Structure 1
Amino acid sequence: MSVSKTIIISCAGMGTRLGLNTNKSLIDIDGKPLIIRQLECLDKFDDIRIVVGYQAQEVIDVVCSYRKDITFVFNHDYTNTKTAASLSLGKKHSNEMIISLDGDVLFKPEDLERFILEDDEEAIGVCSPYTNEPVYIDTEFIDGTEHAVSFSRQHGKYEWTGLFKIYAHKLNSGNDHVYKMITPNLPLKVVHVNLKEIDNMNEYKKALDWYKNGYK
């Protein structure tokens, strides 16, 4: 039997580098807010928690227009904390396994669903480096399967996507970057995921083009 899962989406940040004065989860992706595009990929799951902070009420209103069974967790100190603080708040009293993703990422739906449902093994989502400020991952093969063994800001084979699944009892809390929070859980199996992070206007335009071109 599959283990029970809690999905946490971190949407508390101000997204200042995008320059639109809006929470990045609310930006328009071909007629729908990004957070709705994410939730459309997650229709099969019931324990979904969204961590809100900046423009919290706007995010809540948009989400509730699509689903009314989402749990909202407040990071009231979002101006002074990083994503690890939001994740730490969201993971309290979770199910057996935590799946974490950022609210500023546009996913290819099949890839996100495959990552969550493929098996109950802990894993980390990776892609080829493409953003301006990547968190890199170095890997090694363990028993014939490629695993992430370290994070770096300088070099690495892949870029981390912000996506992971880890058993809740193994995941410590933190206040800094999430990759530092999950470093004690390495090595983790790597899974390649098609997605586009949206951190600045150039990445936003590329994500829109990618979506409109059928995720190509």
Structure 2
Amino acid sequence: MQNVTCAVIAAAGMGTRIGLGMPKCMIEVEGKTILSRLIENLQPHVDLIKVVVGYREEMVIDYCAQHHRNVILVRNKDYRQTNTAFSFAKGANLSSGKVLYLDGDLVISPESLEAFIQCAASKEILVGLTDAKSENAVFADCNTTSEGFMISAFSRTKPSPLEWANVVSGPAHLLDGASGYVFERLEEYLPLNGKLLELAEVDTAGDLIAAREFVCALDSKEA
């Protein structure tokens, strides 16, 4: 057993597909930024939260100075030439123990995130999965296990009910030197344990509408 002690949020990308001219983590969904939702949901479960910034970094830096002074900001000045895997590796640098890696454009159910973090303590690497719904999904070929799923392959062309959720827990060196996408590094370790997450990814204008509906549904459950 090794608990997750650090979370790295990748928020350096330009978010060109949604075209709002700001880091996607700064988009408000039902009155609260995606970044605040992630940080608030993570704080009860990890000791340290790192946010990797790049594109329009001043927005995120100023926002965290006002609202989240306890997070550590990590600069990816090469954000135009690098990808999420690079940001994850940069954020996890000098960390020890187990790290939770998350994209900064995810709205995640607090309950499913908590369950994922608890399960991650007993897995060297745990991959987040969600129902396949993205326009450019990375599908996960899985078998059901007593604790979740066992992933045997990823594919952009072979559809399956589940897709890679852009969330993974593992050692701090997991993405060191990765030159491709995160899931391509994970392919080197297959088969891997997977666990379902309830989430909405905000990558396009349509995704933003769906994320608002997702949050409203979560709020109605709690009411």
TM over 0.5: yes
Letter in 2 for 1:33: T
1:89 aligned onto 2:93:
no
Asked if structure 2 preserves the Cα contact closer than 8 Å seen for 1:9 and 1:49, the reply is yes
Measured after TM superposition, the shift of residue 176 of structure 1 is 2.2
User: Among residues 154, 157, 161, which one is paired with 1:154 in the alignment?
Assistant: 157
Amino acid at match of 1:103: G
How far the C-alpha of 1:213 sits from its partner, in A, is 2.2
Q: Of the candidates 119, 126, 130, which is equivalent to residue 129 of structure 2?
A: 126
1:195 paired with 2:196, answer no
- Counterpart of 1:137 in structure 2 is 140
Q: Report the alpha carbon displacement of residue 2 of structure 1 after superposing the two structures with TM.
A: 4.3
> Contact between 2:128 and 2:194, CA under 8 Å: does it hold in 1?
yes
Stretches of structure 1 lacking an aligned partner (at least 5 in a row):
none
Residue 3, structure 1, aligned to residue 3, structure 2? yes
Q: Using the alignment, how far apart are the partners of 1:131 and 1:3 within structure 2?
A: 30
Instruction: List aligned pairs for 1:169-180, cutoff 5 A.
Output: 169=173, 171-180=175-184
TM-superposed CA distance for 1:6, in Å, is: 1.7
1:25 matched residue in structure 2: 25
Q: Displacement, 1:68? A: 1.4
155-164 or 141-150, which deviates more:
141-150
- Cα distance change, pair 119–179 in 1 and its aligned pair in 2 (3 A): closer
- Matched-pair contact (CA < 8 Å) for 1:96–1:169: no
Q: Distance in 2 between matches of 1:4 and 1:145?
A: 18
Q: Which residue of structure 1 lines up, in the alignment, with residue 74 of structure 2? A: 73
Asked whether the equivalents of residues 53 and 77 of structure 1 are also in contact (C-alpha less than 8 Å), the reply is: yes
Distance 1:66 1:140, change over 3 A: same
Shift of 1:70: 1.0
Identity of matched residues, %: 31
- Asked whether the 8 Å contact 1:83–1:176 carries over to 2, the reply is no
120-129 or 60-69, which deviates more: 60-69
Match of 2:38 in 1: 38
Letter in 2 for 1:34: I
Q: Which moved more, 1:149-158 or 1:191-200?
A: 149-158
- Alpha-carbon RMSD across the aligned residues, in angstroms, is 2.0
Q: Distance in 2 between matches of 1:8 and 1:144?
A: 25
Find 2:210's aligned residue among 185, 195, 206.
206
Q: 1:209 to 1:170 in 2, by over 3 A?
A: closer
The two structures have a TM-score, normalised by structure 2, of: 0.89
